[in-house]
C-alpha cells in the first residue's frame, strides 16, 4: 500500500480535471496515473473491486459502455468478467479511481463527499 494518494484516470476527462484541481486547491499531494499512457494496473484491480464493487467501477452510463456490443455488455456479470473488460478497455472505468494515502479506494468525484471523508 502506498503512503501517497494516487489518482487514476484520463487527463482529458472533465471529472478527472475537476478532481485534480480540487486536490491541488486542498493542498493534497498526489500522483497521477494516466490509463491511456500507463494502462490499468492489473494488480490493483482486485483491491478496487473489493473496495467499490464491479457495478461501481464499470461506468455503465458512459459513451464507451454504450458503444460496446450488447453481448459484451451482457457478459459483464461479476468481478472476473469486469476485470477482463476493464483490462481490454480502460475507458469503461468510472473516473477517477483514487487510492488515498490512508488506504481507502474511491471511484468518482464529488467535492462534498471528498471533503467530508477528509474532514474538511
80 is catalytic: no
Out of 13, 57, 97, 107, pick the active-site residue.
13
Phi-psi region of 58 (alpha: psi -120 to 50; beta: other; left: phi over 0): beta
d(CA 51, CA 4): 18
CB 16 within 8 A of CB 62: no
79-88 and 45-52 helices cross at what angle (nearest 10)? 130
> Which residue bears the cell 469486469?
82
> Which residues are annotated as catalytic?
13
Amino acid at each position: 500500500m502506498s503512503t501517497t494518494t494516487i489518482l487514476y484516470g484520463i487527463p482529458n476527462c472533465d471529472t478527472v480535471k475537476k478532481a485534480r484541481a480540487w486536490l491541488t486547491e486542498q493542498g493534497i499531494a498526489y500522483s497521477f496515473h494516466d490509463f491511456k499512457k500507463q494502462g490499468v494496473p492489473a494488480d490493483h484491480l482486485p483491491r478496487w473491486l473489493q473496495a467499490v464493487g464491479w457495478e461501481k467501477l464499470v461506468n455503465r452510463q458512459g459513451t464507451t459502455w454504450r458503444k460496446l456490443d450488447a453481448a459484451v455488455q451482457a457478459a459483464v456479470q461479476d468481478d472476473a468478467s469486469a476485470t477482463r473488460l476493464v483490462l481490454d478497455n480502460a475507458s469503461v472505468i468510472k473516473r477517477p479511481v483514487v487510492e488515498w494515502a490512508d488506504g481507502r479506494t474511491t471511484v468518482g468525484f464529488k467535492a462534498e463527499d471528498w471533503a467530508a471523508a477528509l474532514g474538511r
